[in-house]
């Protein structure tokens, strides 16, 4: 009898031991996977501990398009036209940073696609004949480093692109050799870890506005200028022209000209990245002077009250299509939180992390 009792105790002890081992292994796999994602991604993943449960949160970015006759009038009812689900050639976590251009009778949106396999951003394009219905084309540029913010522009009948390439330690210039699919690296315009570099040609000079990532915050803005696009770029004498202001410093899309007004869009990155968009009128721009003033009394684009962009508005790209009409591409996001079970399964099976 005692022998049977002892055997039962041994069996129970063994089962408990195996159960404890499984729990420890599961915790280690969860922890390793979660922190691997956090360290490798370019966009913020966060882990919150709520009542002893871990939740994995990622902001879900999408791209919307709308028409307007007033580029400074925000639109609450914007339809998301490009999402990660539209991307067919890679597994995408999200899409962001749209830039609109028109070539002949076709509209194109160049944008960032976050590649889940490589854990970095690639650049892709979608096209439309009417600006309303969009067809995903393909990834058009991939590098060993992270890419985003694909600012495409036309100069002397050629198409150029200045994407965000801070991981390559510079602001790089690319040229289309087969628009819109094939791009060739030309040169590095400015060395340094700059993000969201925005270009404009004004009064015979080229101007670049960018935020220096070296400082670790999105609270600064520097300007560089050159007589020729592929010439020598010099820093503005007052760099950084904005310092210590995470609400107004980092650019949020293409700098545009409306009649005689130069408008710079800025993203509000405090308390959250890409919370809302402000518009500024640049009133002084020279190698020695810079001055801008807020347009309106508050943000141009706050978060929507509901829907795909209810978390924040992050980027805007207006395109003048004539007759005082604008086609505008924006991106926005909302929080997407996984339950503990789904988060655990997603981290265990990496393809579910999108």
User: What pLDDT, in 10s, does the model give residues 309-325?
Assistant: 999 999 999 999 998 89
Closest CA to 220 of 199, 251, 190, 242: 242
Q: What is the pLDDT of residue 23?
A: 76
Q: Which residues contact 151 (CB under 8 A, 6 or more apart)?
A: 99, 161, 162, 163, 197, 198, 199, 254
The token duo for 232 is: 């020598």
Q: Is the distance from CB of 321 to CB of 102 less than 8 angstroms?
A: yes
Q: What is the pLDDT of residue 13?
A: 61
Strands (E), 116-219: 120-128, 135-141, 148-155, 158-164, 170-178, 182-191, 194-202, 205-212
Q: Please report which confidence band the pLDDT of residue 5 belongs to, taking 50, 70 and 90 as the band edges.
A: very low
Residue 131 has pLDDT above 60, yes or no: yes
125-154: average pLDDT: 98
What φ, ψ does residue 205 adopt, rounded to 5°? -125, 160
Q: What is the pLDDT of residue 29?
A: 57
Residue 20 has pLDDT above 80, yes or no: no
Q: What is the pLDDT of residue 56?
A: 36
* 159-218 pLDDT, tens digit each: 999 999 999 999 999 999 999 999 999 999 999 999 999 999 999 999 999 999 998 789
State what percent of residues in the chain have pLDDT above 70: 80
Q: Please report which confidence band the pLDDT of residue 336 belongs to, taking 50, 70 and 90 as the band edges.
A: confident
Residue 246 has pLDDT above 90, yes or no: yes
Q: Which residues contact 165 (CB under 8 A, 6 or more apart)?
A: 143, 145, 146, 147, 171, 172
Q: Which of 20-24, 38-42, 227-231, 348-352 has the lowest mean pLDDT?
A: 348-352
Tally DSSP H helices, then E strands, for the chain: 2, 21
Residue 42 has pLDDT above 50, yes or no: no
* 104-121 pLDDT, tens digit each: 999 999 999 999 999 999
Mean pLDDT score of the chain, rounded to an integer?
Answer: 86
The token duo for 264 is: 């710079």
Q: Please report which confidence band the pLDDT of residue 47 belongs to, taking 50, 70 and 90 as the band edges.
A: very low
Q: Please report which confidence band the pLDDT of residue 352 belongs to, taking 50, 70 and 90 as the band edges.
A: very low
Q: What is the pLDDT of residue 35?
A: 46
Q: Give SS3 for 99.
A: strand
* 269-287 pLDDT, tens digit each: 999 999 999 999 999 999 9
Residue 54 has pLDDT above 70, yes or no: no
């Amino acid at each position: 009898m005692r022998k049977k009792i002892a055997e039962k105790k041994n069996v129970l002890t063994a089962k408990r031991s195996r159960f404890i081992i499984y729990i420890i292994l599961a915790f280690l796999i969860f922890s390793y996977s979660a922190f691997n994602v956090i360290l490798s991604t370019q966009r913020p993943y966060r882990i919150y501990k709520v009542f002893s449960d871990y939740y994995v949160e990622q902001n879900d970015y999408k791209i919307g398009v709308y028409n307007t006759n007033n580029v400074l009038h925000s639109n609450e009812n914007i339809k998301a036209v490009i999402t990660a689900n539209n991307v067919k050639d890679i597994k995408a976590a999200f899409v962001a940073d749209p830039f609109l251009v028109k070539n002949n009778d076709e509209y194109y949106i160049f944008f960032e696609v976050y590649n889940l396999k490589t854990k970095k951003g690639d650049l892709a394009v979608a096209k439309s004949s009417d600006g309303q219905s969009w067809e995903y084309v393909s990834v058009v540029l991939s590098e060993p480093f992270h890419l985003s913010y694909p600012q495409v522009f036309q100069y002397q009948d050629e198409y150029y692109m200045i994407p965000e390439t801070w991981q390559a330690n510079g602001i790089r210039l690319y040229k289309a050799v087969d628009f819109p699919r094939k791009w060739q690296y030309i040169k590095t315009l400015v060395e340094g870890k700059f993000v969201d570099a925005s270009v404009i040609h004004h009064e015979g000079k080229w101007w670049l506005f960018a935020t220096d990532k070296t400082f670790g915050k999105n609270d600064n803005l520097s300007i560089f200028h050159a007589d020729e696009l592929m010439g020598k770029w010099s820093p503005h004498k007052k760099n950084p022209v904005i310092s210590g202001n995470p609400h107004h410093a980092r650019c949020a899309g293409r700098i545009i000209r409306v009649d005689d007004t130069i408008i710079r869009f800025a993203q509000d990155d405090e308390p959250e990245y890409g919370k809302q968009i402000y518009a500024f009128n640049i009133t002084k721009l020279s190698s020695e002077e810079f001055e801008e003033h807020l347009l309106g009394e508050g943000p141009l684009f706050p978060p929507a009250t509901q829907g795909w962009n209810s978390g924040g508005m992050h980027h805007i790209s207006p395109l003048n299509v004539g007759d005082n009409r604008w086609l505008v591409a924006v991106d926005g996001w909302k929080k997407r939180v996984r339950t503990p079970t789904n988060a655990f399964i997603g981290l265990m099976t990496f393809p579910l992390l999108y």
